[in-house]
A and B are shown apart, each in its own frame.
Chain A
Amino acid sequence: MKKLNIVLSAFRALQRNKMRSFLTMLGIIIGVGAVIAMLAIGQGAEISVKDQIAALGSNVLIILPGSQQQGGIRGGAGTMTTLTEEDAAAVARECPDVAYVSPGARANGQVIAGDMNWATSIEGGSADYLNIRQWALADGEFFSDADVKTAAKVCVLGKTVVDNLFPETSPIDQMIRIRNVPFKVIGVLLKKGQNAMGQDQDDVILAPYTTVLKRLSRFPFLRQILVSATSPNTMMQAQKQITELLRLRHKLVSNDADDFTIRNQTDIATMATATTEILTILLASIASVSLLVGGIGIMNIMLVSVTERTREIGIRMSIGARGKDILTQFLIEALVLSLLGGIIGILLGVTGSMIISKLAQWPTVITLFSIVLSFGFSFAIGIFFGYYPARKAAMLNPIDALRYE
């Protein structure tokens, strides 16, 4: 029997019982729709996490001083004072895969502007700080190399700080006092929002690291050196170059451990991505349970259908249908049910996830993969759950089938 004819007669057989066919398909429709929607939500979460991490600066390396050891007591990372401004300058000068370097210092303190005050942290950096963090100014300007060299008392405010100190007026060219040291505000940062860990990245004041070290910090050593590689791909080379350079500069011989640590963002990114991937898999597997139930529904209905149409099977066999013709016929019917259900389910899932992202402001991403996956899944379900009833039909004895009442 020609394939087209089989498909056409399968459609006709399903048309005869429209309501039943629809209800059977409904299981697959809901299953596929749920899988698509859940994958869309999960992958939406995954991508927004990735975006946030990329916003940190995806090619950023952080060089931290090593841990200090006194007797048997070991301090944490950054407790040693092994990083110097000269190290930072050398990294910038001698590592070919390093694009920008910003030595870092940090202080915390109460900030006063007019009759307002606010406690925040003061981040020291070089003129390249914004390039490394991939951050931009909303207003004013950033401090220059000259400001860094002269330890000028200028600063740039984060959005949260502006909101708290200058709710009404523009802060540009205003004076503020940080721990009683007067600073001139020369710029305002663009709002950046929370980072992947939920910290407000806008609650910060940026100032030249030289100024922070000299005027504000009680710990007059570099806390860290922020470095950006020329591209995400050269990050590993850059890390290697820095390691070699610093070991040389710190006169470490072969067996000595590094007296510094280099961290990159990929660790954080990997962890966060892994978390959301688990979430996606969890959501999709819950949804695929309903797909499985839909498949059982198809098997159930096909079994009923085979019993109901035993006589038809007998007639077909009496005029020359072979077992495999009958098998194909019922298998195609099951496949038409599941694939049609799959297609409707995909449409439902796609519109459903669009509605979710509209109503709940939740990012959803529909990938070709999830569509191909659920379509393939409904195909497999059609074959798997359709085979047993179809085989049952094909194995019928012609005379028994014909006599069936």
Chain B
Amino acid sequence: MSAERGTTSLPASNSVVIDVQHLTKTYQLGEVEVHALRGVSLSIHHGEFVAIMGASGSGKSTFMNILGCLDKPTKGQYILDHIDVGSLSRDALAQIRNHKIGFVFQGFNLLSRTSAIENVELPLLYGETPSKVRKEKGVAALERVGLGDRIHHYPNQLSGGQQQRVAIARALVNDPSIILADEPTGNLDSRTSVEVMEIFQQLNDNGITVLLVTHEPDIADFAKRQIVFRDGKVKADKMNSDRKSASKVLAKMPAIDEEDNE
């Protein structure tokens, strides 16, 4: 909750979840070479809550995509949960995404015309979980994000904040090693943003490692550690000495009645 160094104070803190060394990523755009990452080295431990900040074009999203095994680095090493991801096949990467990573996107990325519970169960479907267990886990994940009463709603029947919470439940359902959130509050108003951050903080309090990309300092203030990217490099990496509690912020906020979570 405070300025203490998360890497040493949390239980199981010795286990490194993410370890990247000299990561570079170069895109070829026609004649021009774009250096999105120019040698990034850092490690993230179990139980951390990291915010990655930076202006657009700083390479933070590229970094996120590589961490999420959606993209491959041009050079460098990426070890996730003691697995060297660089050497894995497409199928093996898919399984890593399925078992070890939970994604939350800016645009929610739920399947339309598919109910909340079905969206949440989707990772379990690809993980060959028996249908009864699937249902139980799906409901449990939705209850965890406070949507236990809306499991059969469709995305178009839910507000933005609720959709993002469905996405968080989907990210949670497979008990991943880390949750990667790419601008999760980018499409939400300020109150809903804080509500979503409250959920992330609660999950983190329960021992889930969270890594979130944002360009809003307000949002980054809810994290325990802040890493700033600029021009494809880590410019700053510091513990957040003034970490805010989303619950407290919410309590102080004027209650805008009937917003989205009546």
Encoded as 1 (CB less than 8 Å from any A CB) or 0, chain B from 88 to 100 comes to: 0011001101110
Q: Which residues of A contact B190 (CB under 8 A)?
A: none
Check if B94 sits within 8 Å of A323, measured CB to CB.
Answer: yes
Q: Within 8 Å of chain B (Cβ to Cβ): is A321? A: yes
Instruction: Name which residue of chain A comes closest to B121, CB basis.
Output: A5
Q: Which residues of B contact A312 (CB under 8 A)?
A: 111
Check if B126 sits within 8 Å of A1, measured CB to CB.
Answer: yes
Q: A1-B128, A320-B94 are in contact. Are A399 and B122 (CB under 8 A)?
A: no
Q: Which residues of B contact A318 (CB under 8 A)?
A: 68, 70, 97, 103, 109
Of the listed residues A316, A318, A321, the one surrounded by the most CB atoms of chain B closer than 10 A to its CB is A318
Tell me the chain A residues, 1-16 only, with Cβ under 8 Å from chain B.
1-2, 5, 12, 16
Encoded as 1 (CB less than 8 Å from any B CB) or 0, chain A from 127 to 146 comes to: 00000000000000000000
Check if B98 sits within 8 Å of A319, measured CB to CB.
Answer: yes
Q: Which residues of A contact B97 (CB under 8 A)?
A: 317-320, 398
Q: Within 8 Å of chain B (Cβ to Cβ): is A149? A: no
Q: Which residues of B contact A2 (CB under 8 A)?
A: 125, 128, 131
Q: Within 8 Å of chain A (Cβ to Cβ): is B127? A: yes
Please, how many angstroms separate the alpha-carbon atoms of A321 and B98 in the complex? 8
Encoded as 1 (CB less than 8 Å from any A CB) or 0, chain B from 76 to 117 comes to: 000000000000001100110111000101000111011000
Please, how many angstroms separate the alpha-carbon atoms of A12 and B111 in the complex? 12
Instruction: Name which residue of chain A comes closest to B100, CB basis.
Output: A320
Please, how many angstroms separate the alpha-carbon atoms of A230 and B128 in the complex? 68
Q: Within 8 Å of chain B (Cβ to Cβ): is A202? A: no
Check if A399 sits within 8 Å of B126, measured CB to CB.
Answer: no
Q: A399-B70, A399-B71 are in contact. Are A319 and B113 (CB under 8 A)?
A: no
Q: Which residues of B contact A322 (CB under 8 A)?
A: 90-91, 94-95, 126
Q: Which residues of B contact A314 (CB under 8 A)?
A: 109
Q: A322-B126, A398-B70, A399-B65 are in contact. Are A315 and B91 (CB under 8 A)?
A: no
Q: Within 8 Å of chain A (Cβ to Cβ): is B73? A: no
Q: Which residues of A contact B131 (CB under 8 A)?
A: 2
Check if B94 sits within 8 Å of A317, measured CB to CB.
Answer: yes
Q: Within 8 Å of chain A (Cβ to Cβ): is B6? A: no
Tell me the chain B residues, 14-55 only, with Cβ under 8 Å from chain A.
none
Q: Which residues of B contact A262 (CB under 8 A)?
A: none
Q: Within 8 Å of chain A (Cβ to Cβ): is B170? A: yes
Tell me the chain B residues, 117-137 only, with Cβ under 8 Å from chain A.
122-123, 125-128, 131
Instruction: Name which residue of chain B comes closest to A4, CB basis.
Output: B131
Contacting B98 at CB < 8 Å: which of A315, A320, A323, A399? A320
Contacting A321 at CB < 8 Å: which of B70, B94, B109, B174? B94
Check if B70 sits within 8 Å of A319, measured CB to CB.
Answer: no
Contacting B122 at CB < 8 Å: which of A16, A311, A316? A316
Check if A315 sits within 8 Å of B90, measured CB to CB.
Answer: no
Q: Which residues of B contact A315 (CB under 8 A)?
A: 109-111
Identify whether the interface residues of A are mostly helix, strand, loop, or mixed. helix
Question: Number of A residues whose C-beta is below 8 Å from B?
Answer: 22
* B110 CB, min distance to chain A CBs, angstroms: 8
* A311 CB, min distance to chain B CBs, angstroms: 8
Q: Which residues of B contact A12 (CB under 8 A)?
A: 113-114
Please, how many angstroms separate the alpha-carbon atoms of A350 and B216 in the complex? 67
Of the listed residues A311, A320, A398, the one surrounded by the most CB atoms of chain B closer than 10 A to its CB is A320
Q: Within 8 Å of chain B (Cβ to Cβ): is A402? A: yes
Please, how many angstroms separate the alpha-carbon atoms of A44 and B163 in the complex? 62
Please, how many angstroms separate the alpha-carbon atoms of A324 and B95 in the complex? 12
Q: Which residues of B contact A321 (CB under 8 A)?
A: 94, 126
Please, how many angstroms separate the alpha-carbon atoms of A323 and B109 in the complex? 19
Instruction: Name which residue of chain A comes closest to B180, CB basis.
Output: A318
Check if A324 sits within 8 Å of B91, measured CB to CB.
Answer: yes
Q: Within 8 Å of chain B (Cβ to Cβ): is A325? A: yes
Tell me the chain A residues, 71-112 only, with Cβ under 8 Å from chain B.
none
* A314 CB, min distance to chain B CBs, angstroms: 8
Check if B125 sits within 8 Å of A5, measured CB to CB.
Answer: yes
Check if B95 sits within 8 Å of A320, measured CB to CB.
Answer: yes
Instruction: Name which residue of chain B comes closest to A309, CB basis.
Output: B111
Instruction: Name which residue of chain A comes closest to B102, CB basis.
Output: A319
Tell me the chain A residues, 380-400 only, with Cβ under 8 Å from chain B.
398-399
Instruction: Name which residue of chain B comes closest to A5, CB basis.
Output: B125
Tell me the chain A residues, 348-405 only, with Cβ under 8 Å from chain B.
398-399, 402
Please, how many angstroms separate the alpha-carbon atoms of A398 and B66 in the complex? 11
Please, how many angstroms separate the alpha-carbon atoms of A322 and B123 in the complex? 11
Instruction: Name which residue of chain A comes closest to B93, CB basis.
Output: A398
Instruction: Name which residue of chain B comes closest to A318, CB basis.
Output: B103
Please, how many angstroms separate the alpha-carbon atoms of A398 and B69 in the complex? 9
Check if A16 sits within 8 Å of B109, measured CB to CB.
Answer: no
Q: Which residues of A contact B70 (CB under 8 A)?
A: 317-318, 398-399, 402
Q: A16-B113, A398-B70, A399-B65 are in contact. Are A319 and B91 (CB under 8 A)?
A: no
Encoded as 1 (CB less than 8 Å from any B CB) or 0, chain A from 16 to 35 comes to: 10000000000000000000
Please, how many angstroms separate the alpha-carbon atoms of A2 and B170 in the complex? 19
Please, how many angstroms separate the alpha-carbon atoms of A154 and B19 in the complex? 115
Q: A1-B128, A312-B111 are in contact. Are A319 and B123 (CB under 8 A)?
A: yes
Check if B91 sits within 8 Å of A320, measured CB to CB.
Answer: no
Please, how many angstroms separate the alpha-carbon atoms of A319 and B100 in the complex? 10
Please, how many angstroms separate the alpha-carbon atoms of A312 and B109 in the complex? 8
Of the listed residues B70, B97, B98, the one surrounded by the most CB atoms of chain A closer than 10 A to its CB is B70
Pull 22 A–B residue pairs with CB atoms less than 8 Å apart, ordered by A: A1-B125, A1-B128, A12-B113, A16-B113, A315-B110, A316-B111, A317-B70, A317-B94, A318-B70, A318-B109, A319-B123, A320-B97, A320-B127, A322-B126, A323-B90, A323-B94, A324-B91, A325-B94, A398-B70, A398-B97, A399-B70, A402-B109
Q: Give me 10 other A-B pairs in contact (C-beta within 8 A), A319-B98, A321-B126, A322-B91 excluded.
A: A12-B113, A16-B113, A311-B109, A318-B97, A319-B170, A320-B95, A320-B99, A320-B126, A322-B94, A398-B97
